[in-house]
Amino acid sequence: MNPLLQAKRLGQRLWLDNLSRELLAGPLQTLIAEDGLAGVTSNPAIFQKSISAGAGYADDLAALKAQPLSTEQRFEALAVPDVQAACDLFAASYQASEGLDGYVSLEVSPFLARDGAGTLAAAQRLWAAIDRPNAMIKIPATPESLPAFSAAIAAGINVNVTLMFGQRDCDAVFDAYLAGLRQRLAAGGDLRHVRSVASLFLSRVDTLVDARLEAIGADAVLLKGSAALAMAKLAYARWTARWNGDECADLRAAGANVQRLLWASTGTKNPAYPDTLYVDNLIGPDTVNTLPDATLAAFRDHGTASLALLEGVDAAETTLKRLAEIGIDLDAAAVQLQVDGLKLFDEAFEKLLASLA
């Protein structure tokens, strides 16, 4: 069987980390029908690449530049219809799965990452503009934006929390999700139709940690390529234990949906590693993996679908202890990686807006 479909049968949903008008013109429908693709994510870098290189935007760009709009308004005038079109292609999947599948994510401006009030206002505006029940608004997991995430959940907005790089991020995001659900419940809101995913970035963690292991040398290099997988397995174990425990019993009874962990940055950056490293090893129930085009194709071709996420948890804990013992501070690495990730998104968004000026 197609490994993509096998992963779905094991409880994981695979999303594509790409969105363009070329994709909407035909390939996306094929991926949904033949591979069971269950969603699409986007970010400033993806739109920058698509809009700057895609001939499908030329006419709209020319028309928009003649209008008295800001560059951000021009971007949204291009991006929102794309997200709506993708949501419509996934509508049947969304309905058939009773809201489990079929999501399309659009990110608030990365310039708002340290502005909680601005993030919430942007999330509310984009949610209303897209006007699709299977849209998700991406909000960064910065300390400043987590209250906006809680408020968005309380308002019934589906949210993809992005730029998580470590266990502290996971704990903070989970707490914020529960806070939002409880705010909504206290106000008499329906929890059944609110969905969220929490995006934990992986390959960037290994890239940073591997460089530090090489600098340490000796036996430390034997741990290369192990940090992200170990972190993900322990994060999932803690995540599921919290959700299924007494802490969340009231929310489960009220019909709340588990916030699924989403594996992001799953294209391997080290050519020495298997190209499906962050897919084969992280399949488990109530998870999502968002794949670049090349990684999706590789997994379809030679991936292995098994419940690997549930295996080797003790070994993962040992790995993280060994990393700590030799001086690898994963909490500090997560803070640095989030700052670096925000900078990359800022730069991509600046390039995108410059092309729309």
Compute CA distances 295 → 17, 162, 290, whole Å.
Answer: 10, 20, 9
Q: Please state whether 288 falls in left (phi above 0), alpha (psi between -120 and 50) or beta.
A: beta
pLDDT of residue 85: 97
What percent of the chain stands above pLDDT 90? 90
Other CB atoms within 10 A of residue 143 CB:
12
148 close to 117: Cβ distance less than 8 angstroms:
yes
What percent of the chain stands above pLDDT 70? 99
- The rounded distance, in Å, linking the Cα atoms of 125 and 329 is 38
pLDDT of residue 195: 98
Residue 326 phi/psi, 5-degree rounding, is: -95, 10
pLDDT of residue 357: 81
Tokens of residue 209, six digits: 């940690």
Supply the range of the domain harboring residue 45: 3-356
Tell me, what CATH number does 200's domain have?
A: 3.20.20.70
Asked if residue 315 has pLDDT above 90, the reply is yes
| 132-162 pLDDT, tens digit each | 999 999 999 999 999 999 999 999 999 999 9
**Diameter of the chain measured on Cα atoms:** 61
Specify the number of domains making up the chain: 1
pTM: 0.96
Question: For residue 324, what are the contacts with CB-CB under 8 A and spacing of at least 6?
Answer: 330
Q: Which residues are catalytic?
A: 138
pLDDT of residue 54: 67
Mean pLDDT taken over the chain: 96
Tokens of residue 77, six digits: 């005038």
Indicate if the alpha-carbon torsion angle 156, 162, 166, 168 is positive or negative: negative
Asked if residue 53 has pLDDT above 90, the reply is no
